[in-house]
Structure 1
Amino acid sequence: MRLRYFFFLLFCSFSLSLQAQEKKEKVYTFKIDKDIDPAMNRRVKLALEDAVNQKATLIVIEMDTYGGAVNDADDIRTMVLESEIPIYVFINKDAASAGALISIACDSIYMAPGGSIGAATVVSGGDGAAAPDKYQSYMRSMMRSTAEATGRNPRIAEGMVDEKIEIEGISQAGSVITLSVSEAIKYGFCEGEYKSLTAILEAQNLGGAEIVAYEEDFVDKVISFFLSPAISGVLILIIIGGIYFELQTPGIGFPILAAIVATLLYFIPYYLNGLAENWEILIFIIGIALLAVELFVIPGFGIFGVLGVIFILGGLVLGMLPNQNFNFDFVPASQLFGALLTVILAALASVGLVFWLTPKVNQWGAFSTITLASTQEREDGYTSSFYAGTLLGKEGIVHSRLRPSGRIEIEGEIYDAISRGDFIEQGEKVIVISTEGTSLKVKKLEA
């Protein structure tokens, strides 16, 4: 009898132990410790999704940021407010501007000694001056509605944006509200001061909880690698160099393949991070098309060629920036300058590489089987002419305007022709100076 009782107690103890393990709290943590931008927006989205998959019972954000893009902050705020899992934020040490908005959206706010929250005035990315009132109004409304949703004083939240709001005992007209730890606790914008995340969990009786920290997976690490300005510069160099070599030696395949791969590696990471938009990639593709038209359809280097280069470089620059269409008000000046510098230096490097590499290509044994390195002389029977040599030196009349290609009439016959870059009007007299190629080369016959 005693033995049966002993086994019964052992079974009950084992069952309770299993239940305790099953009910063990799981706390999921991640950091917002950089500017609020599309990359941070994506990190928060992935972290919150992972927390759901991990069946976390609580999410804690460790915050230390001076703010960033308003649109990305709004996206993050919305995700936090809509989360079915409670979200705490631990401000260690700053939650300014967009960081304040996200913090106020959380269920509970905790701060480290010396921390602060507030100063949410919207500033432009160029000179750091206050943005126009329409942006301030938008930010005020978000701060107010977020504070209302989480049970905090909406007037104080608005005062973090608008320097005209005066609250007795808290702020004076002419300065926006920034709360210290003690002030935040006093006015309901902080639940307590703690030195660490562990201290917060212990205070909430979660000292024994399992803590899971967000970590980038392999794909995210690869994306971060290719977002490096140095790597982006190398990819731009390969893109421009590959396009040039393929246009100079069409049919080889390797240069254009390298350019395509580099283009994908360049745009995909920026696209996934919300920086490169569809229309910006389209601008780059249009630039390639314009350049091809200039080289193959309208020989020379005119408006199509110039526009092609501008569109290609423009697409590469725009793909790196967190702009909203053609609005660059909130693009940090340093980021804009960095993108321009990266693209320009890479373009110049690719041009220098092309001039250095082109004379050497034919000397490489690896290219001798796919390129024509030898000269095929006319005396040996080689010719690229589609016309009889008797047309050389013949005079004719421009049948359709040469721009610089068109058609001419010689002795009643119509021939394709191209000038030396000059535009020659219809009816002008010309003389054939070369019969090689698919078009006669002509020049204007001086009177």
Structure 2
Amino acid sequence: MEKRRSRSERRASGEARRAEAPLSAHAELPIAPEGRDPVGLLRAQEDEREPELVPLRYERMTASPFAFLRGAATVMAHDLARTPTSSIEVQLCGDAHVANFGMFAAPDRRLVFDLNDFDETWPGPFEWDVKRLAASVVVAGRATGAKAKRLRRAAAATVASYRTTVGSLAAMAPLQVWYARVDVDDLVERLRATSLRDEARSASKASRRNSGDVAVQKLTEVVDGRHRFRHKPPLLVPVDPDAQPAVFRRAAALHTQYLESLRDDAQVLLRRFALVGLAQKVVGVGSVGTRALVMLLESGDGDMLLLQVKQAGRSVLTPYLTEPDVRHEGQRVVVGQRLMQATGDPFLGWARGTIPPRRDYYVRQLRDLKGGFDLEAFDVDRLTVYGRLCGAVLARAHARAGDPAVVSGYLGTSEEFDHAVADFAIAYADRTEADFSALAAYRATRVA
């Protein structure tokens, strides 16, 4: 019978990793190698995107340095691969910036706060997510005009929250860790004495209003007694089943394939609906240009349901980590999301296109009470509180598919890691601003 290592043994193995990767080493951002080309890294992704939408992607990314950071996960993955590593593996989000946390409905219909974007998920060293999160705090905070010392403290507080939370999780039983989640009602109460009190209440109320029924009203209209997607190019372009029957047939085949990826109970539920509408939809910042569809489903009694079908490409992490054996990129995203989220969308599934190049997709419910905080309205005090919240949530996500005892043993109880990553975040914010300028210059030549 195989025996599992004790918590103390696992913690000791993590502590031993400091001999090869000292905590202070995580402050290091190596000098950019000759030939480093952030615009080139972004352009390398154009082959998998719709050519007519690529300019819109760059337009959104050049709105601000933070918008650039959001869309440039491939650039940061390239840079992180050249930093010292703990080699302590967890399931990574791969894109853990502050705008990728939010509120949504759990299957029990209670609102939860968690990570909500997993396009780049893949196993890797835990600190990659932590460094991206801390850097995003600094880059977002610079827009407030806050001084560098306050932004460094905000980044350090974010990392400290991660470290102390993973330490607490390391002391818990595995089932306690697995079921731990952040309920929004509890979160609002916990934030009552902080600068985020009013924002938490407003975000909670707005999220509860953002139901699937509201999404149906916003995205569709009734024509001749039937719901049809609105025509708002290039953001929303309906597919006419009469004018484009082949496209609609392929979508129907994809929908059938998706149903087969679901658990039996979700299959039973969704087979009560039929596919009646289809549209192409532009989503996100970095995702702009990848194929994204919305499916309109209708029950026999006229109940409506919206599903989002999103192209899943190769994770930006995989060129720098162990070469994966990924048979389906959509399944990769779904598995990673299920591992990291405490609770999630029961309609998560995947499918593959039926004609060349046979793209992979993942499918989820659209706007099921989804919402979040208005980060653009934050001052540095609010951003610091929010960073702590995100750090704690990221620690819980890592603890589900990683070993919190090993991570906690490596981090210890001192603030050394907090300050090292805060230094890294400041340096990476400088690099992000330079990369943002490079993309803006490139875009200016294209527009001219």
Q: TM-score normalised by the shorter chain: which range applies?
A: under 0.3
Q: TM-score, normalised by structure 1?
A: 0.24
Which one has a bigger Cα radius of gyration? Answer: 1
TM-score (norm 2): 0.24
Greater RCO, 1 or 2 (C-alpha within 8 Å, sep 6+): 2
